[in-house]
Every structure is written in C-alpha cells, then in structure tokens.
A = this chain, B = another copy of it.
C-alpha cells in the first residue's frame, strides 16, 4: 500500500506536525504512514483524506 500523503500535504503547504495535529495523531504516525510503514485504521485514513481536501480515501491511499 502506497500513499500520496506527502505529495498532497506539500500541496497544502503544511508540515507533518501540523497534519498530525489536525488529525489528532503524533508526528511519528504521519511520518511512518508517508513512508508506507503500515496500514492505518480506517478512521485515520478518513481523517487524513479530509485534512488533505480529497474526496475519496482511494485518492490518497493506493492499494496494491
């Protein structure tokens, strides 16, 4: 599973720490997700999608 979090986060011009605050997780969680280190919960994936102003979870998280 890959993600476009980093790409979209930069479009929004926010830092990992800011995104983390918005979706209420730690910066390390965002950092790990950007690097595809694991599989988030659905709720977190949803919050991140919203925070990045994307319509669908699938726009941000690309499943293999």
Contact = CB atoms under 8 A, between A and B. Distances in A.
Contacts of A1: 42-43
Interface in A34-64: 39-46, 56-58, 61, 63
B39 A39 contact: no
Q: Chain A interface: which size bin?
A: 10 to 19
Given A1-B42, A40-B41, A57-B57, 17 more contacts: A39-B41, A39-B42, A39-B43, A41-B41, A42-B42, A42-B44, A42-B45, A42-B57, A42-B61, A43-B63, A45-B45, A46-B58, A46-B63, A56-B56, A56-B57, A56-B58, A57-B58
Nearest to A59: B56
